Amino acid sequence: MSVLVFIETKGKISKAAREAVTYGSKIGPTTVITYGDADAASLGSIGDNGATKVLVCRNLSEGNDQQLTKLITAAANNCGADVIIVSQDQLGKAVAPRVAASMEAGHVSGAIALPDTANGFIVKTNVFSGKAFANVSVSSSKKVISLLPNSISPESTGGNAEVEEFNTDLGSAGITVKEMKTQGEGVLLPEAELVVSAGRGLKGPENWGMVEDLANTLGAATACSRPVADIGWRPHHEHVGQTGVAIRPNLYIAAGISGAIQHLAGVNGSKTIVVINTDSEAPFFKAADYGIVGDAFEVLPKLNEAMRTFKASQN
Amino acid sequence: MKLLVCISKAPDTTSKISFTDGDTKFDENGVQYIVNPYDEWYALVRALELTEANGGTVTTITVGTAADDPTIRKALAIGATDAVRVDAEAKDPYFVAKQIAEYAKANNFDIILTGKETINYNGAQIGSMLAEMLDQPFVSLAQKLEVSGNTATLERDVPGGAEVIEVNTPFVLSAAKGMAEQRIPNMRGIMAARTKALNVIPAVETAELTSIVSYSMPAAKAECKYIDADSMTELVELLHNEAKVI
Ligand SMILES: Cc1cc2nc3c(=O)[nH]c(=O)nc-3n(C[C@H](O)[C@H](O)[C@H](O)COP(=O)(O)OP(=O)(O)OC[C@H]3O[C@@H](n4cnc5c(N)ncnc54)[C@H](O)[C@@H]3O)c2cc1C
């Protein structure tokens, strides 16, 4: 099976992009399609994750789903791809189904494992907001897979990919970005490997300093429960759970969050969960790997202190 | 303004998730269905606010069986003008998008709104596929929507910030948190919903490109290890040596 992987290569090539290329190369010979002005050396380095060739469209600087769909389908036809892989991030969510519709390809959303091709083409996906998995069989000859970040580790083969310019008629963008409001630096929640999160147990927005301090020490992103975002203590984009962002970090630290089923749905894909709660009966402890029954106002600063000592010893 | 809102049912968020028939079917026993929160709270309510302010109609569309009618009536009770149900089981996203696209092509809507994703399958596929089938722009994960004449202004969070987007109608959007506030239907709405039109139309023939062959549950978590509140150094140690996450 021949594979095409779409990735973004603006700035540093992301871990999610390298995961997608690794995933593709385990299915078959892999070509990458990307756009923008990344230099050839950096594009060639994608070969390290198993791609043999990188196609780059230089005539597009801002990705939008309508033009990228034209680009990806043209590239798929060009390299005769049977399987197209896209990372399930914000842009990927808008692009992949569109590519699938355009090619009449079956689309698998939220894949977390390699396809099982022993008997057809079956991909394991996350469903019910992470409470269960579904095995999705794709019957069409062309297939599009959206891969959830943190589902496979990027592998290094030591290879280098051949870089080729690829251009096609992209039509118009359809939408115009009028304004871009940038936020402060900080770690982006959906891609974060470490997350410190807090809930109503923190009593008020003025107490988030200790959450941010711990996040800074760890290089973690911050998150919160839904009521905290609803009352306006924290911005909406920090709200995790079934009706917020679903995340799968390596470490999720939850302070003053009860662990309601809707909250757990968005975080139960985390590798390791630490729960800090005054109430030993809080449901979150059932989903926790490590639990601390105690007051977040005391535990968070202590944990931060211990982390700082640890970090200092690492350097 | 002529708006179409895609409505799907979803198991209530507190539902116990389990499977039957050799793990090939979702066990609906005791499960309460609700309107998928993203469809209801954000897409439908914002569509209603826009037509209340500017005039126009809000039609809902659902691909489903008669079992979906109660959730469709709920959307009518909240205020939709009328509803369409394409009479078929919603199995594969391509199949569903195709049904809605066929209906939309024949009825020329200014804006088609979907929720960001359903909370059961989390596919986030229908809006994007629909836009491609209709050859229209798609604004995913929109958190604000204003319309003036045939120009719409939308806002959404993107990695590292937020974007303000302008797009001309017709277009498709998927609605995320921030776009509107949940509305509780009142008695008048519930009464009115009983007599509003729910038009059942046949499905158009379309290939199903994917199917779910089985389900499974995540492995049970090991027992939680409790650590004393005064022993944070021990926790850090465990996270480093045992969990290997720092
Ligand atoms: C349809 C629907 C969708 C929903 N979607 C989501 C979602 O996506 N995400 C989400 O988070 N919620 C969601 N909810 C809400 C969810 O049911 C809970 O109400 C919510 O998660 C509770 O937030 P919380 O844990 O911060 O607050 P609470 O439930 O009030 O819990 C506060 C916790 O803090 C503890 N505490 C108090 N003081 C301290 C202290 N000093 N130190 C340590 N611990 C302390 C308490 O023991 C308690 O366990 C949804 C609900 C519905 C109905």
Digit-coded pLDDT (tens) for A214-241: 999 999 999 999 999 999 999 888 999 9
pLDDT on residue A186: 65
User: Architecture of A3-165 per CATH?
Assistant: 3-Layer(aba) Sandwich (3.40)
Q: Is residue B237 part of a domain?
A: no
pLDDT band at B19, cuts 50/70/90?
A: very high
DSSP B116: S
Q: State the Cα–Cα distance between residues A149 and B47, nearest whole angstrom.
A: 33
Q: What is the mean pLDDT of residues B221-230?
A: 94
pLDDT on residue B158: 83
Q: State the Cα–Cα distance between residues A212 and B172, nearest whole angstrom.
A: 38
Domain range enclosing B154: 2-216
pLDDT on residue B91: 87
pLDDT on residue A189: 86
Q: State the Cα–Cα distance between residues A251 and B70, nearest whole angstrom.
A: 41
pLDDT on residue B93: 97
Mutate to test the pocket of ligand 1, among A189, A196, A240, A278 (most ligand atoms within 8 A of CB): A278
The total domain count for chain B is: 1
Sheet holding A106-111, edge to edge: A162-165, A51-57, A30-35, A3-6, A83-87, A143-147, A106-111, A122-127, A132-138, B210-216
Q: What is the mean pLDDT of residues A45-54?
A: 97
| Domain A189-314 annotated CATH 3.40.50.1220 | yes
% pLDDT > 70, chain A: 99
Domain range summary for chain A, segments of one domain joined by + = 3-165, 189-314
Residue A165 contacts B where some CB pair is shorter than 8 Å: no
Q: State the Cα–Cα distance between residues A271 and A27, nearest whole angstrom.
A: 25
Q: State the Cα–Cα distance between residues B95 and A100, nearest whole angstrom.
A: 12
Q: What is the mean pLDDT of residues B5-13?
A: 96
Q: Is residue B231 part of a domain?
A: no
Q: Scanning every residue of chain B, which has its alpha carbon at the shortest distance from the alpha carbon of A226? A: B177
Same fold, A3-165 and A189-314: yes
How far, rounded to the nearest angstrom, does the alpha carbon of residue B140 sit from its chain's CA centroid? 12
Ligand 1 centroid to Cα of residue B38, in Å, is 20
pLDDT on residue A195: 97
Q: What is the mean pLDDT of residues A142-156?
A: 94
pLDDT on residue B244: 96
The chain-wide mean pLDDT, for chain B, equals 96
Mutate to test the pocket of ligand 1, among A128, A247, A277 (most ligand atoms within 8 A of CB): A277
| Ligand 1 neighbourhood includes A197 CB (under 6 angstroms) | no
Contact predicate B93/B210, CB 8 Å: yes
By C-alpha distance, which of B168, B178, B184, B195 is closest to B142?
B178
Q: Is residue B226 part of a domain?
A: no
Burial B151-177 (b: 16+ CB within 10 A, else e): ebebbbbbeeebbebebebbbbbbbbb
Q: What is the mean pLDDT of residues B165-181?
A: 95
Higher-pLDDT residue of A84 and B14 is: A84
Nearest to B140 among A94, A288, A302 (CB): A94
Nearest to A307 among B126, B210, B236 (CB): B236
Q: Is residue B67 part of a domain?
A: yes
**Rounded CA Rg of chain A:** 21
Q: State the Cα–Cα distance between residues B242 and B239, nearest whole angstrom.
A: 6
Read off the pLDDT of residues A232-271 as tens digits, 9 standing for 90 and up.
999 888 999 988 888 999 999 999 999 999 999 999 989 9
How far, rounded to the nearest angstrom, does the alpha carbon of residue A178 sit from its chain's CA centroid? 26
Cα of A307 to nearest chain B Cα, Å: 6
Q: Is residue B165 part of a domain?
A: yes
Sheet holding A251-255, edge to edge: A221-224, A194-198, A251-255, A272-277, A290-293, B225-226
pLDDT above 60: residue A185: no
pLDDT on residue B11: 95
Read off the pLDDT of residues A113-131 as tens digits, 9 standing for 90 and up.
999 999 999 999 999 888 8
pLDDT above 70: residue B151: yes
Helices (H), chain A: 15-25, 40-44, 65-79, 90-103, 209-218, 226-230, 261-267, 296-314
CATH number of the domain enclosing B76: 3.40.50.620
pLDDT above 90: residue B157: no
pLDDT band at B42, cuts 50/70/90?
A: very high
